[in-house]
Amino acid sequence: MYGYAGKILRINLTNQTIKVEDLNAEWAKKYIGGRGLASKYLYEEINPKVEPFSPENKLIITTGPLTGTSVPTGGRYMVVTKSPLTGAIACSNSGGFFGAELKAAGYDMIILEGKAPKPVYIAIEDDKVEIKDATHLWGKLVYETTDLLKQEYGDKAKVLAIGPAGEKLVRIAAVMNDYDRAAGRSGVGAVMGSKNVKAIVAKGSKGVSVADEQKVKDVVASKIKIIRENPVTGEGLPAYGTAILVNIINEHGIFPVANFQKAYTPEADKISGETMAKTILTKKHACFRCPIACGRVVRLKDGKEVGGPEYETVWSYGANCEVYDLNAISEANYWCNQYGLDTISTGATIAAAMELYQKGYIKDDEIAKDGLSLKFGDPEAIVGWTIKIGKREGLGDKMAEGSYRLCEAYGAPDLSMSVKKQELPAYDPRGVQGHGLVYATANRGGCHVRGYLISAEISGIPQKLDRFSTEGKAEWAKIFQDLTAVIDSLGMCLFTSFALGLKDYVDLMNAVCGTDYTEETLLAAGERIYNLERLFNLKAGIDPSQDTLPKRLLEEPIPEGPSKGVVHKLSDLLPKYYEVRGWDEKGYPKEETLKRLEI
Amino acid sequence: MIKVKLFATLREGRENEIDFEFFPGINGRFILEKLAIPEKQVAIFLVNGRDYSLDEPLSDGDVIAIFPPVGGG
């Protein structure tokens, strides 16, 4: 097999056994790799009803066929498991260098099964794979854990680790790699913690063999050219990072403020990518083989130079908590990286707690011992509560369950701005109807990267759609969701899709793997993956009534700003979406659809 | 008066915000010309938060936001 390493590492933590298996080539053809193929393995190997923290759940760390090759942004890996936050299938995706190193060691995928009797880490050096004692690492922050393992295995070794949040089963804990890159969402870090696995070290010396070296060279060169010449990937993202979106989203009046109570703020520019570039930015950071380099490195007030916040983080801790202070946001981001927390869900959960406080559900005496306020706008609060969530301390222990369970515990679940219990990201769907449909139907719950319709509804890529209209949005949602499933499965970064189209991905896949995908068959693989994830969720007990949005977004019009007066019209969109998907009117995939997709 | 807000790379060598005197018939094209912004650099032209044509006349008090092509997330 070209592109693929062709091998899976299956590690049973209960029995402490390590097996190397051949990759299922037939499944790879149908589900590509990465997100798709790992979802197939998970679907076949676990009961979707399994309790996420039980040893019967599995944690799959997977690369795609293009990971570790010369393909631009080909450094992605994904973590696939049943989520403890949503109860749905989780696939969290990260860049950095770990994924490419794992591939270079000769593995497409690691399947972690069971539960280790005591803390362990996994050391992979090509064919030498060991389960090692991690007692000395347990409890340590991500940076120190990474440093200690690099001291032992050398600087070339790449480290994936959880922080204390994952160990303590914080439901919004991330899997971290290369210090500050995150497979952030859906609590995948807590599943790793539940298995008593602190870290994975990878060091590889094998290359990835490709079908036709000259062809790969030519195709890669032509795609890099497209990415470099595109104004989004060649100019905007390199210059300002993802936070370039702060002003544009705010000027459209869809920048959620104070837990989605408003959607516009006159203070946005204080936390914008433009301001970051002028103030705290020290340098830019590129992941493996990335010509875009959207990563930021920033200097905190105390002098620490650390990974900077992404757009979503600038929003979740910034406007969503009404803190217009880039230093405080960057510090909160830093502690998320250290404790191993998802910055979207953590910031959004703090914002939900602030609204619970504002509305009188949480009283002063309850938080007196914590020594922190829960007032919107308090920069110390966003940093302090992040650390308390990471430690499960005081009220942080309740917040560690995520915003839905927190708000439910106070009898106010409607104050959680989440879908399928996962916190929504940084775009108010009331002013972007298609994007809201994607929120409601995303297989991993509230999420912007399962079909980033902002691209069409705001940026006009690949074409401009009327953001307030529901017309044609069901069809667009399906195409974006299916294409995203393809990109995630290849092992490339979604940001390439601002410049590249389906045909480009077909070219890259076929050049590397020697396959004969067409645009039609590759996109069909994406559709197959999307439907398989849906089937997992249905079997897990997540029925289609959960394809919805928070009540506030369906019933309360945006109160002010450029999108004033609109609500999300989900009920106009959902029936059409089910129809376009080939699902019945209740949202279940029809027999004929599954047959057509060969599921 | 018409308030014009510039963002991202359009700020390079220009102020972040510029006020224009209103006159009947003033439109986006006039403003771009005055600010020496080539039309091909403009991906999004918002008037009071809504997409707007460069040729349509503006009203007194309008707030304009101009963006180059941007994406992220």
* Cβ separation A251–B49 shorter than 8 A: yes
pLDDT for A316: 98
Mean pLDDT within A19-40: 98
DSSP state of A446: S
* Cβ separation B72–A244 shorter than 8 A: yes
Extended strands (E) in A380-518: 418-419, 422-423
Q: Which residues pair with A128 in a beta bridge?
A: A125
φ, ψ for residue B3 (rounded to 5)?
A: -95, 130
* Cβ separation B46–A294 shorter than 8 A: no
Q: Which residues of chain B neighbour A562 with C-beta distances below 8 Å?
A: 46, 48-50
**Which of A264, A312, A459 lies nearest to residue B70, judging by beta carbons?**
A459
* Cβ separation A274–B72 shorter than 8 A: no
Task: Give percent of chain A above pLDDT 90.
Answer: 100
Per-residue tokens: A135: 């007692």
Rg of the Cα trace of chain B? 12
Per-residue tokens: A288: 């493996």
* Cβ separation B72–A235 shorter than 8 A: no
Q: How far apart are the CA of B56 and the nearest CA of chain A, in angstroms? A: 18
Residue B72 lies in a domain: no
Mean pLDDT within A431-435: 98
Flag whether pLDDT at B70 surpasses 90.
Answer: no
Per-residue tokens: A409: 């515990």
Count of residues for chain B? 73
Residue A253: closest C-alpha in chain B: B49
Q: How far apart are the CA of A242 and the nearest CA of chain B, in angstroms? A: 5
- Tens digit of each residue's pLDDT (9 = 90 or more) over A163-175: 999 999 999 999 9
Note whether A589 and A581 are within 8 A (CB): yes
Note whether A413 and A187 are within 8 A (CB): no
Domain count along chain B? 1
Q: Residue B46 belongs to what domain range?
A: 2-67
The domain that contains B39 carries what CATH number? 3.10.20.30
**ipTM summary value:** 0.96
Per-residue tokens: A101: 């190193």
Query: Buried (b) or exposed (e) across B28-64, using 16+ Cβ within 10 A?
Result: bebbbeeeebeeeebbbbbbbbeebeeeeebeeebbb
Mean pLDDT within A567-577: 98
Dihedral sign, Cα of residue A68, residue A74, residue A76, residue A80: negative
pLDDT for A520: 98
Q: Which residues of chain B neighbour A233 with C-beta distances below 8 Å?
A: 71
- Tens digit of each residue's pLDDT (9 = 90 or more) over A389-403: 999 999 999 999 999
* Cβ separation B71–A498 shorter than 8 A: yes
Note whether A271 and A324 are within 8 A (CB): yes
Residue A237 sits at the chain B interface (C-beta within 8 Å): yes
Distance CA A113, CA A127 (A): 20
Per-residue tokens: A308: 């900077």
User: Going by DSSP bridges, is the β-strand pair A158-161/A128-133 parallel, antiparallel, or unpaired?
Assistant: unpaired
Count of residues for chain A? 599
Residue A252 sits at the chain B interface (C-beta within 8 Å): yes
Note whether A490 and A64 are within 8 A (CB): yes
Identify which of A18, A197, A155, A462 has the alpha carbon closest to the alpha carbon of residue B71: A462
Residue B73 lies in a domain: no
Position B73 confidence tier, pLDDT thresholds 50, 70, 90: confident
Residue B31 lies in a domain: yes
Which stretches of A514-590 are DSSP H helices? 519-540, 551-555, 570-581
Q: How far apart are the CA of A233 and the nearest CA of chain B, in angstroms? A: 8
Mean pLDDT within A256-283: 97
Q: Which residues of chain B neighbour A251 with C-beta distances below 8 Å?
A: 5, 7, 46, 49, 65, 67
Beta-carbon count within 10 A of A300 CB: 17
Q: H or E stretch including A129?
A: strand A128-133
* Cβ separation A236–B48 shorter than 8 A: no
Distance CA A570, CA A380 (A): 37
Per-residue tokens: B17: 């915000």
Flag whether pLDDT at A197 surpasses 80.
Answer: yes
Note whether A479 and A465 are within 8 A (CB): no
Distance CA A352, CA A508 (A): 43
**Which of A244, A460, A562 lies nearest to residue B50, judging by beta carbons?**
A562
pLDDT for A491: 98
Per-residue CA distances from A281 to A95, A124, A241, A253, A268 (Å): 20, 35, 10, 27, 17
Position B71 confidence tier, pLDDT thresholds 50, 70, 90: confident
Instruction: Please give the interface size between A and B, counted as residue pairs whose CB atoms are below 8 Å apart.
Output: 93
pLDDT for A551: 98
Q: Which amino acid is at A207?
A: G
Q: Which residues of chain A neighbour B53 with C-beta distances below 8 Å?
A: none
List of domains in chain A = 7-203 (3.60.9.10), 241-422 (1.10.569.10), 431-498+518-596 (1.10.599.10)
Position A232 confidence tier, pLDDT thresholds 50, 70, 90: very high
Q: What is the mean pLDDT of chain A?
A: 98
Per-residue tokens: A142: 């991500």
Note whether B26 and B2 are within 8 A (CB): yes
Residue B57 lies in a domain: yes
Residue carrying the six token digits 């369906």: A554
Mean pLDDT within A323-348: 98
Per-residue tokens: A423: 């916190």
Position A443 confidence tier, pLDDT thresholds 50, 70, 90: very high
Distance CA A40, CA A599 (A): 10
Residue A311 sits at the chain B interface (C-beta within 8 Å): yes
Mean pLDDT within A240-264: 97
Q: Which residues of chain B neighbour A263 with C-beta distances below 8 Å?
A: none
- Tens digit of each residue's pLDDT (9 = 90 or more) over A461-519: 999 999 999 999 999 999 999 999 999 999 999 999 999 999 999 999 999 999 999 99
* Cβ separation A459–B46 shorter than 8 A: no
In degrees, rounded to 5, the angle at the alpha carbon of residue A159 between the alpha carbons of residues A156 and A163 is 155
